[in-house]
Amino acid sequence: MASIFITGSTDGLGLMAAQRLIADGHHVTLHARSATRAEETRQTVPDARDIVVGDVSQTGGMKSVAEQATDAGPFDAVIHNVGLGYRASERIETPDGLSRTFAVNVLAPYVLTASMPWSERLIYLSSVLHQNGVADLSDPQWTRRPWDGNQAYADSKLFDLMLAFAVARRRPDAFVNSVEPGWVPTKLGGDEATDDLEAGPVTQAWLATSDDPEALVTGQHFYHQQVAATHPDAHSIEKQEDLLDYCAQLTGIRLD
E strand or H helix that includes residue 50: strand 50-53
C-alpha distances in Å from residue 87, one per residue of 14, 91, 103, 129? 19, 11, 16, 13
Of 157, 223, 239, 246, which residue is the catalytic one?
157
157 is catalytic: yes
SS3 content of the chain, % helix, strand, coil (to 5): 45, 15, 45
Pairing of strands 220-223, 175-179: parallel
Instruction: Using alpha carbons, select from 145, 74, 151, 59 the residue that is nearest to residue 104.
Output: 59
C-alpha distances in Å from residue 163, one per residue of 35, 158, 176, 184, 236? 29, 9, 10, 23, 11
Of 86, 124, 153, 223, which residue is the catalytic one?
153
| 108 vs 213: CA distance, rounded Å | 30
Instruction: Specify the DSSP class assigned to residue 112.
Output: H
| 74 vs 69: CA distance, rounded Å | 8
187 is catalytic: no
Instruction: Using alpha carbons, select from 128, 151, 6 the residue that is nearest to residue 73.
Output: 6
Residues marked as catalytic: 153, 157
